[in-house]
């Protein structure tokens, strides 16, 4: 596939954001961004401690955030707005009210048909990370990662106005798909969706995935890759979206469309049966 103009724009922004501009100018950039976007820095180091804008985007907590260790509590993987959530209707989930997308389409050709069928009539959650949010993502439950699939694509914005006008946005955009199993043996997917100015989506356990640079799809399989609830497994280099697709009767949601959630907040309760 050819590089889309949105990818070229994002690469240009990524080069600026990755550059260390010198202490005085960089401090000005960082403080301006924090003020303009309304970042809450109370859990993080002060803005002037980050050597680049990307370092500020991908900041880590100064102290670990606490969360429930009950194995049946699912926590939010990130700080975000729930733009839509609910039941998957056969193969369809909501991008935004009144506009659906195909679950098979968003998962792409790298996921087996049997795995796709397992989440028919299941549950979905769309997490939108704005530029003001904490940009790292974490395991929502104890989980096994079976496969990672990288699908290059466009980098349209994923904010609310774009969700309302761009049909099949999650299918058109670049994404990284993680196929996972819960401790109860239930299948679910975490889909990292790229967006304008997201120069990179980092997956810490798979350095071979290089987003917004490689133009051919790739996929990787694992035998013994486990993440514990709360584990940090990567970051966006700006705001973006995580789509979660879960097998039928895997969980009961405790959040609704329009809720703002924070990493570590309980968002669902897992069913205890295998």
Residue 25 dihedral angles phi and psi, to the nearest 5°: -65, -40
CA atoms within 13 A on the CB side of 5: 0
Q: Which of 224, 245, 243, 271 is nearest to 115 (CA)?
A: 245
Active site residue 112: no
The helix (H) or strand (E) run that includes residue 17 is: helix 5-18
The answer to whether 233 and 227 are in contact (CB under 8 A) is yes
From the candidates 4, 135, 138, 150, which is the catalytic residue?
Answer: 138
DSSP 173: B
Active site residue 114: no
CA-only gyration radius of the chain, Å: 18
Active site residue 76: no
From the candidates 4, 7, 73, 79, which is the catalytic residue?
Answer: 79
User: Active-site positions?
Assistant: 79, 138, 240
């Amino acid at each position: 596939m050819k590089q889309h103009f949105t990818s070229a724009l994002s690469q240009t922004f990524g080069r600026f954001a990755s550059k260390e501009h010198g202490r005085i100018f960089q401090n000005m950039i960082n403080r301006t961004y924090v003020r303009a976007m309304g970042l809450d820095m109370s859990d993080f180091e002060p803005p002037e401690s980050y050597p680049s804008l990307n370092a500020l985007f991908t900041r880590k907590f100064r102290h670990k955030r606490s969360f429930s260790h009950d194995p049946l509590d699912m926590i939010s993987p990130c700080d975000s707005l729930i733009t839509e959530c609910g039941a998957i209707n056969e193969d369809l989930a909501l991008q935004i009210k009144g506009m659906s997308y195909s679950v098979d389409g968003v998962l792409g050709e790298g996921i087996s048909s049997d795995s796709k069928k397992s989440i028919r009539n299941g549950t979905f959650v769309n997490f939108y990370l704005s530029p003001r949010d904490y940009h790292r993502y974490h395991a929502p439950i104890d989980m096994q990662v079976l496969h990672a699939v990288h699908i290059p694509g466009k980098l349209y914005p994923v904010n609310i106005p774009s969700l309302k006008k761009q049909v099949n946005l999650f299918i058109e955009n670049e994404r990284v798909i993680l196929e996972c199993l819960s401790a109860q043996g239930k299948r679910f997917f975490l889909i990292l969706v790229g967006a304008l100015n997201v120069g990179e989506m980092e997956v810490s356990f798979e350095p071979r995935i290089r987003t917004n640079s490689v133009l051919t799809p790739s996929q990787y399989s694992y035998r013994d890759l486990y993440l514990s609830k709360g584990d940090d497994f990567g970051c966006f280099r700006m705001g973006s979206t995580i789509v979660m697709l879960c097998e039928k009767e895997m969980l009961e949601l405790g959040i609704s469309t329009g809720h703002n959630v924070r990493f570590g907040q309980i968002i669902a309760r897992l069913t205890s049966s295998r």
